[in-house]
Amino acid sequence: MKDKGHDGVKELDSLNSDRLRTVQLNVCSSEEVEKAVEIVRSSLKDPEKGMWGLVNNAGISTFGEVEFTSLETYKQVAEVNLWGTVRMTKSFLPLIRRAKGRVVNISSMLGRMANPARSPYCITKFGVEAFSDCLRYEMYPLGVKVSVVEPGNFIAATSLYSPESI
């Protein structure tokens, strides 16, 4: 979770579930991800039984034509959207495998169809789709499920392009 004070985090925390835990971390930081793994592992009733599920929902986006979008912007979007998903999955996979759990990766309709002025976002979501397909094939014999959610019109439903985030 990027922001523990966010409404979505508050709503999840208000469920008071002993099976749900929100953890604030930066998916771009291997150290923070490993710390999150330890927090989760220590909160499990029986760590040997593993963890039931992981939802990779971190994401950022930008607008801009290819010619006018900096390479740094491409790298930043890829670091969160693609490499953050890979980093989180690889780190939590041993716990998920033990439970024969599931990985849910939030992608986008733009992970299947390109869109002008959205190339950094599109290429990272295409990558999430391919990563998820590869992972699904590898995990199937082990009883681990891998799903992809492809929301549409996500911008209108989130604060991705609020005045504060632009």
Name the residues annotated as catalytic.
121
How far apart CA 57 and CA 50 sit, in angstroms, is 21
Identify the three-state secondary structure at position 104: strand
The rounded distance, in Å, linking the Cα atoms of 131 and 105 is 10
Q: Give first-to-last CA distance, the chain, whole Å.
A: 20
Q: Are 50 and 97 contacting, i.e. CB atoms less than 8 angstroms apart?
A: yes
Residue type, 13: D
CA separation for the pair 4, 75 (Å, rounded): 25
Q: Which residue has the tokens 């209108």?
A: 156
CA–CA separation, 25 and 32 (whole Å) = 6
Please state, as a whole number, how many other Cβ atoms lie within 10 Å of the Cβ of residue 146: 20
